[in-house]
């Protein structure tokens, strides 16, 4: 038996699976993760027919749209920890079963309240599945290069799923009722459960300790309150009292939660993970990536549908090359990391995102799509180079018995980064659009209010004006929107450039090869940015490869 085989056999949390089992594990986890991404984005395209069928109030419609994401983000840390304790395979199979059942309830919801409840259950089930997929992949692949490639492929399919949602939704809604976009989850999740029960290897923390019951509500209330406040204030402005109250409660709960975790012997979230520059630097880079890129899909969906007048299906197909390029480029991260190091790969990914984001912002109401296609592809490659390496770094830097919790931190950072991006950059987009919009004196007050809300409202308001006056106003609204996109994308590009520079320093001491950490030792720590962890690959230690 080789040294590597001996190490793998004795790893905590389960023996290393064979090659076929490893890649089968990756396939099952990719399918499960992709379905979650599709479900997260498909609802936007079902809303028009859903509104006609269920007639929800404005408040109910907001909760229908947001309850899935709120529930998933609020429960992610808890579910990742439970997966570590009771088994990641068990958690994934339970979550997939619950997701299928909740999808069935969602598809046949008879009213808005029932639909909101079903969406909450979907989010809770998703929180069970997502950390388990990442931790199962991480535990299945013990070879560092294979692990980086596998996590990159998983991240690439996850990115593609958000763009596939509108495509799937558009195709289904052209022929079936709104519930069909959720009904397709049932057979797919049934397949995940059946195949996963056979091929997935079980892994868990062999000595999980006692679960601190007070930490559970503190983490859930804290994350839910904070994310609700950020999203609500970003969309509705600073005048929403409930959002400020929720934010205050969330911050207070998270403060108590963090202090409590620091005192517990068996915390729900091990804060020592953040002492490791590999872990904290990767989480920070992930947050910056999602912050800067979150507004792009919204802005360009509006651009293609409202400014260019394309159908939702055509608009989603126009954005699809970006995520598809991410899937194709995912294995490249595993090739680059041993050659130039993690810090440089992440910095290159952020730099590509910055350049392509600025390039996407140069479009006009009449730009040729084919001129922007290469920029869309480059953006997808940049995203996957960043996310693949940061996700791999987060999971590799954590002990194998805590990978569920580590995966939950990474996913929560993505959710928080995206929420902050929508709140901040979305507010910039709206403010610049309103500032550039010229309202004619003859426009009715109600139409003027509608026009100031969004470019879609501007197009609708223009229809209330006669002849040339209406056409001129619509053209002006579209021009104001594209100018707002210019400003917003330049702001996002500047942030990404700063993130690229920061990544070079934050991940400078992280070796290209991060070997597994024993559960008893806890996460590896660095005394400074130039020092590598004590337990790294002998080759990396002797050659100094990857210390960038």
Q: How far is CA 449 from the centre of its chain?
A: 33
Q: What percent of the chain has pLDDT over 90?
A: 10
Q: Is the pLDDT of residue 531 over 60?
A: no
CA distances from 62 to 43, 51, 59, 232, 247 (A): 12, 12, 5, 10, 18
pLDDT tens digits, 398-417 = 777 777 777 888 788 877 78
pLDDT at 5: 39
Please give the radius of gyration of the chain, using alpha carbons only, rounded to the nearest integer: 23
Dig out the tokens for 94 from the structure: 């339970």
pLDDT at 237: 66
Band of residue 118 on the pLDDT scale cut at 50, 70, 90: very high
* CA pseudo-torsion sign 343, 346, 352, 353: negative
Helix (H) or strand (E) holding 492: helix 467-506
Q: Is the pLDDT of residue 489 over 50?
A: yes
Q: Is the pLDDT of residue 363 over 50?
A: yes
Q: Is the pLDDT of residue 546 over 80?
A: no
- Of 104 and 156, the structure prediction assigns the larger pLDDT to 104
Q: How far is CA 115 from the centre of its chain?
A: 23
Q: Is the pLDDT of residue 16 over 70?
A: no
> Across residues 36-63, what is the average pLDDT?
76
pLDDT tens digits, 229-267 = 877 776 666 667 778 888 899 899 989 988 888 888 777
CA distances from 417 to 151, 226, 231, 423 (A): 20, 12, 11, 10
DSSP 496-543: HHHHHHHHHHHTTT--S-B----TTT-S---SSTTPPPSSB-HHHHHH
pLDDT tens digits, 51-105 = 778 888 767 777 787 788 778 878 888 888 888 888 889 999 999 999 999 999 9
pLDDT at 105: 92
């Amino acid at each position: 038996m080789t040294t590597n085989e001996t190490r793998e056999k004795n790893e905590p949390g389960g023996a290393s699976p064979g090659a076929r089992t490893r890649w089968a594990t990756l396939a099952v986890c990719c399918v499960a993760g992709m379905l979650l991404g599709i479900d997260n984005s498909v609802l936007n395209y079902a809303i028009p027919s859903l509104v006609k069928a269920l007639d929800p109030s404005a408040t109910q419609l907001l909760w229908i749209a947001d309850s899935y994401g709120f529930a998933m983000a609020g429960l992610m840390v808890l579910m990742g920890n439970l997966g570590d304790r009771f088994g990641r395979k068990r958690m994934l199979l339970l979550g997939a079963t619950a997701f299928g059942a909740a999808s069935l309830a969602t598809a046949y919801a008879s009213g808005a309240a029932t639909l909101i409840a079903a969406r909450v259950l979907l989010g809770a089930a998703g929180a069970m599945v997502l950390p388990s997929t990442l931790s199962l992949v991480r535990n299945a692949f013990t070879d560092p290069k294979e692990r980086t490639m596998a996590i990159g492929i998983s991240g690439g399919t996850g990115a593609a799923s958000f763009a596939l949602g509108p495509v799937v939704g558009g195709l289904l809604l052209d022929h079936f009722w709104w519930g069909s976009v959720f009904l397709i989850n049932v057979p797919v999740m049934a397949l995940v459960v059946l195949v996963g029960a056979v091929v997935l290897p079980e892994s868990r923390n062999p000595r999980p300790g006692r679960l601190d019951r007070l930490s559970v509500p503190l983490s859930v209330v804290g994350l839910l309150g904070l994310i609700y406040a950020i999203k609500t204030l970003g969309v509705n402005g600073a005048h929403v009292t409930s959002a400020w109250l929720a934010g205050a409660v969330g911050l207070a709960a998270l403060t108590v939660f963090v202090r409590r975790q620091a005192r517990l012997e068996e915390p729900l979230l091990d804060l020592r993970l953040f002492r490791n520059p590999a872990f904290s630097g990767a989480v920070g880079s992930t947050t910056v990536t999602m912050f800067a890129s979150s507004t792009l899909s919204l802005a360009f969906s509006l651009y293609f549908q409202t400014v260019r007048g394309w159908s939702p299906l055509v608009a989603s197909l126009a954005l699809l090359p970006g995520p598809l390029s991410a899937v194709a480029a995912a294995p490249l991260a595993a090739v680059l990391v041993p050659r130039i190091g993690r810090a440089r790969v992440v910095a290159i990914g952020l730099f590509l995102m910055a350049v392509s984001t600025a390039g996407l912002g140069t479009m006009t109401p009449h730009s040729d799509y084919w001129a922007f296609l290469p920029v869309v592809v480059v953006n997808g490659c940049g995203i996957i180079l960043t996310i693949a390496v940061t996700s791999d770094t987060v999971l590799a830097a954590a002990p194998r018995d805590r990978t569920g919790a580590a995966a939950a931190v990474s996913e929560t950072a993505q959710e928080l980064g995206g929420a902050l991006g929508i709140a901040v950059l979305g507010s910039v987009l709206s403010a610049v659009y309103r500032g550039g919009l010229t309202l004619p004196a003859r426009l009715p007050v109600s139409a003027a209010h509608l026009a100031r809300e969004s470019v879609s409202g501007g197009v609708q308001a223009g229809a209330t004006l006669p002849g040339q006056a209406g056409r001129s106003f619509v053209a002006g609204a579209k021009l104001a929107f594209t100018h707002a996109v210019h400003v917003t994308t330049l702001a996002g590009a500047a942030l990404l450039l700063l993130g690229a520079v920061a990544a070079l320093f934050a991940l400078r001491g992280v070796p290209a090869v991060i070997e597994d950490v024993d559960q008893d030792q806890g996460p590896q720590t660095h005394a400074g940015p130039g020092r590598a962890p004590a337990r790294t690959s002998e080759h990396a230690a002797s050659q100094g490869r990857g210390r960038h």
